[in-house]
Amino acid sequence: MEKRELLYSGKAKSVFTTDDPDYMVLEFRNDTSAFDGKKVEQLDRKGMVNNKFNAFIMTKLAEAGVPTHFEKLLSDNESLVKRLDMIPLECVVRNVAAGSLVRRLGVEEGMDLNPPTFELFLKNDELGDPMVNEYHAQSFGWSDEATINKMKELTFKVNGVLKELFLNGNMLLVDYKLEFGVFNGEVVLGDEFSPDGCRLWDKDTREKLDKDRFRQGLGGVVEAYEEVGRRLGMDF
């Protein structure tokens, strides 16, 4: 597979075309950003850690029956992925109250949510990725009912798999976001799953082991990511 032109460069990843129109190279960079790009830093090893972390999680999800775009690792910082027709929505599941949910609703951080909540956000940096509902998605043509239902089904399936996986490492999967696309007519999990896009706490101490360490200036960001990986049996 030959890596060719840069197709897109986001906040922390770059996407390249290949000689096969159905596949792309996903490059994980060391860039780290928060607050819609207002806080940006370079963190050594982060691209490598997130690339390998994502490969591990995507493989676990595929084994559990969740279709993903991930194909294989190409290098420390690169993976081969299917080229999806992306759906411009983020699916968010919250198992524990944290982040924007706490700010929006005035609830206490750390409150267990039973059942977990499901939210949709429009992927639009200029608008700050606003929260939307299923009717907005259908009325404005971002998706249709069947696709939304499939995304919701897969998002909760991911929750079941990963809550148990992280719990086995004495961690709480607080919340996470997923992005989906369509490949050959099938709704497929895309983008990435890493501590950049989820919240993970130590089960006993509630220590934050995710990107909130960067957002809140706690330090030790990459070290926390590596700790999560080690608890899951990964070797960086």
Higher pLDDT, 133 or 38: 133
Q: How many CB atoms lie within 10 A of CB 202?
A: 17
- Domains present along the chain, CATH in parentheses: 3-82 (3.30.200.20), 85-220 (3.30.470.20)
* Sign of the alpha-carbon torsion through 36, 40, 45, 47: positive
Average model confidence (pLDDT) across the chain: 96
Residue 37 confidence (pLDDT): 65
Helix (H) or strand (E) holding 27: strand 23-28
Closest CA to 155 of 132, 189, 124, 181: 189
Residue 11 phi/psi, 5° resolution? Answer: -70, -30
pLDDT value, residue 23: 98
Torsions phi, psi for 20 (to 5 deg): -110, 120
Residue 202 binned pLDDT confidence (cut-offs 50, 70, 90): very high
Is residue 25 within 8 Å of 83, Cβ to Cβ?
A: no
| pLDDT at residue number 86 | 98
Q: What is the pLDDT of residues 227-236, one digit of tens each?
A: 999 999 998 8
pLDDT of 186 reads 98
| Predicted local distance difference test score (pLDDT) of residue 34 | 81
Rounded Cα distance, 151 and 149, in Å: 5
Mind giving me the DSSP string for 46-64? HHHHHHHHHHHHHHHHHHT
- pLDDT for 157 equals 98
CA distance 88 to 225: 27
In whole angstroms, how far apart are CA 166 and each of 38, 39, 49, 232? Answer: 30, 28, 17, 7
- Residue 33 pLDDT level (bands cut at 50, 70, 90): confident
Cα–Cα distances in Å, from 149 out to 61, 138, 145, 169, 174? 19, 12, 6, 31, 22
What's the pLDDT tens digit per position in 109-124?
999 999 999 999 999 9
Enter the tokens of residue 225: 């990511």
* pLDDT tens profile 81-118: 999 999 999 999 999 999 999 999 999 999 999 999 99
Using CA atoms, how far apart are residues 75 and 123, in angstroms rounded to an integer? Answer: 29
Global confidence as pTM: 0.95
Q: What is the pLDDT of residues 121-162, one digit of tens each?
A: 999 989 999 999 999 999 999 999 999 999 999 999 999 999
